[in-house]
Structure 1
């Protein structure tokens, strides 16, 4: 059964190996160029584009490896033939799932290693590995995403018994999960630490948002992840007077940072420190692998009830 499943998966595996080889070779070239450059910041746009590409790479694995794996056999009726050859349905499903999941694990893991090595000089400068797009392409989480995507595709293919609908639903479900995870689940994997951060003129210049209300967005701590921040507060821990804040914000744009800096402001923040990065990587990987295991269990229950 393992030999048969391996032969059936040979074409997708060869395609994946070719794609991974090309990607790894490109990462070697890019990584060497970044290391040879005097300033790795010049490659920031390229690395951002690579991260955007890699973070969605598990979705095609779910579409083209996972969804057709069972659905196509149910559509063509070949599953019924296998089940008459003294192979139990659950063993048939387990072997197919194992072959596809291991292949996805390898592809995801190697892609993460290749990109992580290439972008390492820039990562050391930026110190923002907790940023959503970077977090999903470094470390073990990318491999866990790939396993989840493939098992999701297999399970939906078994439930829907049609390849194209299973592919479409796999893509939509994977995207939804990838949006919900960093916004609703990841911030709560560990309790945040609390701290007070001064809001100096230099901090103001690096913010991503500063509006008419005394709130700020984009406050950064090198290597850490700021999950929440209070309104701007004064030295006596009171909310800054709105007329003073408005006078700075509505004045000269160039003079605004220094004007606010003279108010001696701070914010209370909740953050995840840099030394928790790998803990978050493994915790989120465990969540995705647990979801994959749950989907596999659902598929194992469902396969017994499939009529052919």
Structure 2
């Protein structure tokens, strides 16, 4: 049974291994380049270090982003090209008549397929994610934004769960549709929708976010104020970041010391006096409320996301084991 599974998956496994090897070789080269640049621009920096830090992030940001996107696409492709055809190929070629009439039961046949093919897909994706996490270590430490959606989903534990989920999803869709091309298309669509829902709907609510009132005078000490101006909702901050944390607040309204919102008239009065926006806001004793997930919840969120993916994979595998002996003839 193991030999048969290898014969059937040999071509897919070899070309996938070739792609993984090429990406791994690039990551090893990238890791050496990142560490050398980090030493020159950050560790050994003596003057204009802020400019050196920006140059460092600009140099490697785009490359790491592309690798992260590739790692996010990997599980979806494995689900479509490995999981979906696992049973539909047997049905369309008619080989199921031979395989399922031997002494090996359908349940055992599926279990071996899941362990070997599913296990290889998880190892491929998970190993690549760990290599990326190691390669990007100095960059991630400097940028300190591990909760950023693409970074979070492509590092550490989450990709292991995504690979397993995508494979079992493709398998179950193949069992239900019994058509390879249909199963592949549905698998890709459903998995992409799941990733979007996880990042934008589910992940922000893994734990109750923290809401903190910050004085304007401390704004650039606690975090970083990206921009400030007048919008439809009044005077507010667009883009506030806290190192290592996940700021959920989008547009943050600014309040004066008496609890009322800062208005356009307040800004005009400040401008007429010739002060800077910071001076004006400090004079008004301005504050703002920020809702965020603290940095120390990162590993908790990683484990929750991994557990969610594994739980859904177990449910999908159960559907496959229930369905296979009942109606696939």
In the alignment, the residues of structure 1 paired with residue 229 and residue 86 of structure 2 have an alpha-carbon distance, to the nearest angstrom, of 47
Confirm or deny: 8 A CA contact 2:27 2:131 kept in the other structure.
yes
Aligned to 1:263: 284
- 1:288 deviates by 0.6
Mark the CA change 1:82 to 1:27 in structure 2 (over 3 Å): closer, same or farther. Answer: same
What do residues 65-108 of structure 1 show as CA deviations (whole Å, max 9, x unaligned)?
Answer: 11111111111121221111022222211221222221111011
Q: Deviations over 1:13-63 (max 9, x none)?
A: 222221111111100111111111134312122222222222222111111
Match in the other structure for 2:302:
281
Instruction: Give the corresponding residue for 2:91.
Output: 74
Q: TM-score, normalised by structure 1?
A: 0.90
8 Å CA contact 1:62–1:170 kept in 2: the answer is: yes
Query: Contact (CA 8 Å) 1:107, 1:143: kept in 2 or not?
Result: no
Q: Cα 1:54–1:239, aligned 2, differ >3 Å: closer, same or farther? A: farther
| Alignment RMSD | 2.5
| Partner of residue 206, structure 1 | 226
- Where structure 2 has 5 or more consecutive residues not aligned to the other structure, the ranges are 42-55
Give the 5 Å matches for 1:68-217.
Answer: 68-199=85-216, 202=220, 205-207=225-227, 211-214=231-234, 215-217=236-238
Contact 1:62 1:150 in 2 (8 A): yes
- Describe the SS at the equivalent of 2:84: helix
List runs of 5+ in structure 1 lacking aligned partners: none
- Structure 2 equivalent of residue 222 of structure 1: 243
Cα deviations across residues 223-249 of structure 1 (Å, max 9, x unaligned)?
01122375322234x241423466389
- Conserved? CA contact 1:97–1:154, under 8 Å: no
Aligned twin of 1:11: 11
For each residue in 1:160-211, what CA deviation from the matched residue of structure 2 results, as whole angstroms up to 9, or x when unmatched?
A: 1110000000010011000000111111212222322334575675249973
Structure (1 or 2) with the larger CA radius of gyration: 2
Q: Aligned with 1:218: secondary structure?
A: strand
TM-score, reference length from structure 2: 0.84
Q: Which moved more, 1:111-120 or 1:193-202?
A: 193-202
Distance change (3 Å), C-alpha of 1:207 and 1:139: farther
CA distance in 1, matches of 2:131, 2:147: 19
